[in-house]
Amino acid sequence: MNLHPMHEAQLVNYLTATHIDDGLLINFGGEKLEIKRKYRIYRPPLP
């Protein structure tokens, strides 16, 4: 099993919801370990 773009999108949604700027996707299920790091810069909505 590989990491798919939908997994990355879900991570970014979690980062947005929790106001966290970086996160890791780790896949232990494949033939080799797969790790992706995603960054997001939180910008509060304008009033």
Residue range 8-26, pLDDT digits in tens? 999 989 998 988 889 999 9
The Cα–Cα gap between 10 and 14 comes to: 6
Per-position DSSP letters for 10-47, written without gaps between them:
HHHHHHHHHT-SEEEEEE-SSSS-EEEEEE----PPP-
What the block records as the tokens of 32 is 């080799």
Average pLDDT over the chain reads: 86
The Cα–Cα gap between 18 and 21 comes to: 9
Q: Does the pTM exceed 0.75?
A: no
- Higher-pLDDT residue of 25 and 30 is 25
| Span 18-35, average pLDDT | 90
